[in-house]
């Protein structure tokens, strides 16, 4: 059902007339009639006023919002943003899971009496895959997978195993189907689906590589899904109901060699960068590509990206001058963000803001690069934020935790140009940086589209509301007076 149909139904079920609705919302009656008959799409401001005036349930409001979003941006973008949000909201669970009391199977528990055999039925095949992956985990073997994104069980089980043995040698070679021209309800392309399938594996697997190849049609192979391990070769049919299992070592080694020969021909889903590469490469690429033009940088973080608000006094007071990498890092920050042509639109959480105000820790910067900011410098940072906001070069949006659960270990930045770099930076349980460059796979645009759309959603507070909350929290936590005026 499109927006006008949903709106007409909601209006019919309420006791509010169009005349009353117009008077309550301040929207012209003719505009409301046009919304009802589908000749006009509402602005976000109009939509918010209408929902508030109708006093509808959250379920009805969500349904109306869904119809509004689809009518505004189209189905493909809507499902892309929905999938991206779901991915972000589940990231935290990757790092929260525990690895106590893990039961690993031994080789004897899944030994075959013959060199090769067949299995029938999804349940039997899935159980065998689970046991084989557990065996490889317990014996520090390897798991090579050639498949597409339709085999949910493989990815779910692999995520479980890798979470308990991050160093498990794993390679994944995925066939991505080109998206169809028409987009139906509940449809999203393979590239969007891979956000939730491949990225979690890359974030937790220290010895995992994932590549993809685009195909225009389904494979003609009878067994398009293959798993090669140090003990078994498993070939699975299209419908996932039949499988051929072999433990012949010569066949396993030959298949492994073929896989290793073909694997380099795929494209990377992401490029993993080490700590120093990640920070310096991000800044260097942004500076080189954007130094000659104005650009807007979007960021999405748990804690505010306050490093962009540092000044020379703060740098001199906190930087570890004995660390040449730290000095270079700060020089690059200064070169980029001191330019008036850079406009930063920053999205972050209230809890993340409080964390910075209480600790002075700069999220995303190595601890040996600087000394945590004292209260004076923290206040100075917020004053710089207020000044940049007044100049129109800094736009903050606090994430609305009631509508959007944002992971603690996530950082994104990008400016959306076709030649630009996009990055996801996370820290894991051991407080180690894990930075992924997204530009190679083309999936970066899903994140950029999502973050640039946030101000027009109920997932974040308005800039005015955000600034007032920031000022109030700073004054309360640091016991100061900012004298901030809009």
pLDDT tens, position by position, 269-312 = 777 766 555 565 565 665 565 555 667 888 898 888 887 777 77
Confidence band (pLDDT; 50, 70, 90) for 186?
A: very low
Question: Residue 344 has which token pair?
Answer: 């930063």
Distance, CA of 478 to CA of 476 (rounded, Å): 6
What is the β-pairing status of strands 411-414 and 423-427?
Answer: antiparallel
Neighbours of 39 (CB within 10 A): 10
CB contact set of 196 (below 8 Å; sequence gap of 6+): 83, 86, 87, 90
The predicted pLDDT at position 440 comes to 57
CATH number of 273-478: 3.30.870
Q: Name the band, by pLDDT with cuts 50, 70 and 90, for residue 335.
A: low
- Whether residue 338 has pLDDT greater than 90: no
pLDDT for 421: 57
Least confident piece of the model among 112-121, 166-175, 332-341, 411-420: 332-341
Q: Which has the higher per-residue pLDDT, 477 or 7?
A: 477
Q: What is the mean pLDDT of the chain?
A: 80
Across the range 412-435, mean pLDDT stands at 62
Per-residue confidence band for 95, with pLDDT thresholds at 50, 70 and 90? low
Which residues in the chain are classed under CATH 1.10.260.40?
A: 3-73
Q: Quick count: other Cβ atoms within 10 Å of Cβ 300? A: 26
The verdict on domain 107-269 having CATH code 3.30.870.10 is yes
What confidence score (pLDDT) does residue 348 get?
A: 95
The per-residue pLDDT for 99 is: 46
Model-level pTM greater than 0.85? no
In CATH terms, the fold of domain 3-73 is 434 Repressor (Amino-terminal Domain) (1.10.260)
What are 236-254's pLDDT values in tens digits?
998 999 999 999 999 999 9
pLDDT at residue 103 above 50? no
- In percent, the amount of the chain with pLDDT more than 90 equals 27
Who wins on pLDDT, 253 or 4? Answer: 253
More confident residue, 269 or 432: 269
> Residue 187: its pLDDT value, please?
37
pLDDT at 417 exceeding the cut of 70:
no
Q: What are the residue ranges of CATH 3.30.870.10 in the chain?
A: 107-269
- pLDDT bin (cut points 50, 70, 90) of residue 55 is confident
With the C-alpha atoms ordered 85, 89, 92, 98, is the resulting torsion angle positive or negative? negative
Residue 478 has pLDDT above 80, yes or no: yes
Q: Which residue has the higher pLDDT, 418 or 114?
A: 114
- pLDDT tens-digit series, residues 349-386: 999 999 999 999 877 677 788 899 999 999 999 999 99
- The reported pLDDT for the residue numbered 98 is 47
**Do 474 and 480 form a contact (C-beta atoms < 8 A)?**
yes
């Amino acid at each position: 059902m499109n927006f006008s149909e949903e709106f007409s139904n909601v209006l019919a079920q309420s006791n509010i007339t169009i005349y009353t609705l117009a008077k309550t919302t301040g929207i012209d009656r003719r505009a409301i009639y046009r919304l009802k008959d589908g000749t006009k799409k509402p602005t976000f401001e109009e939509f918010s006023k209408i929902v508030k005036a109708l006093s509808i349930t959250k379920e009805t409001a969500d349904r109306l919002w869904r119809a509004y979003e689809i009518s505004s941006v189209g189905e493909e973008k809507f499902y892309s943003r929905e999938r991206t949000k779901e991915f972000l909201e589940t990231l935290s669970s990757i790092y929260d899971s525990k690895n106590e009391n893990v039961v690993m199977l031994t080789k004897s528990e899944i030994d075959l009496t013959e060199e090769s055999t067949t299995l029938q039925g999804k349940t039997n095949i899935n159980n065998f895959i689970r046991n084989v992956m557990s065996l490889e985990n317990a014996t520090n073997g390897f798991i090579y997978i050639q498949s597409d994104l339709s085999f949910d069980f493989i990815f779910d089980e692999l995520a479980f195993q890798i979470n308990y043995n991050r160093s498990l040698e794993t390679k994944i070679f995925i066939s991505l189907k080109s998206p169809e021209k028409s987009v139906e309800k509940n449809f999203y392309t393979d590239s969007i689906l891979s956000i939730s399938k491949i990225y979690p594996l890359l974030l937790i697997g220290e010895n995992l590589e994932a590549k993809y190849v685009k195909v225009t049609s389904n494979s003609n192979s009878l067994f398009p899904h293959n798993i090669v391990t140090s003990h078994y070769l498993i070939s699975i049919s299209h419908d996932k109901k039949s499988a051929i299992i072999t433990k012949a070592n010569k066949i396993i080694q030959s298949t492994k060699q073929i896989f290793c020969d073909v694997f380099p021909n795929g494209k990377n889903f992401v490029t993993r960068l080490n700590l120093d590469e990640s920070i310096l490469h991000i800044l260097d690429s942004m500076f080189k590509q954007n130094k000659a033009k104005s650009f807007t940088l979007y960021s999405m973080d748990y804690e505010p990206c306050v490093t962009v608000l540092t000044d020379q006094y703060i740098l001199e007071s906190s930087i570890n001058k004995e660390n040449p990498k730290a000095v270079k890092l700060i020089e690059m920050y200064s070169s980029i963000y001191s330019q008036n042509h850079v406009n930063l639109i920053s999205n972050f959480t209230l809890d993340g803001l409080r964390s910075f105000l209480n600790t002075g820790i700069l999220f995303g910067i190595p601890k040996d690069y600087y000394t945590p900011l004292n209260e004076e410098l923290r206040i100075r940072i917020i004053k710089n934020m207020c000044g940049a906001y007044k100049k129109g070069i800094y736009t903050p949006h606090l994430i609305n935790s009631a509508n959007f659960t944002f992971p603690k270990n996530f950082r994104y930045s990008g400016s959306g140009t076709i030649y630009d770099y996009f990055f996801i930076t996370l820290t894991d349980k051991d407080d180690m940086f894990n930075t992924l460059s997204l530009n190679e796979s083309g999936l970066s645009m899903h994140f950029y589209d999502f973050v640039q759309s946030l101000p027009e959603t109920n997932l974040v507070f308005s800039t005015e509301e955000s600034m007032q909350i920031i000022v109030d929290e700073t004054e309360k936590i640091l016991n100061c007076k900012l004298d901030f005026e809009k």
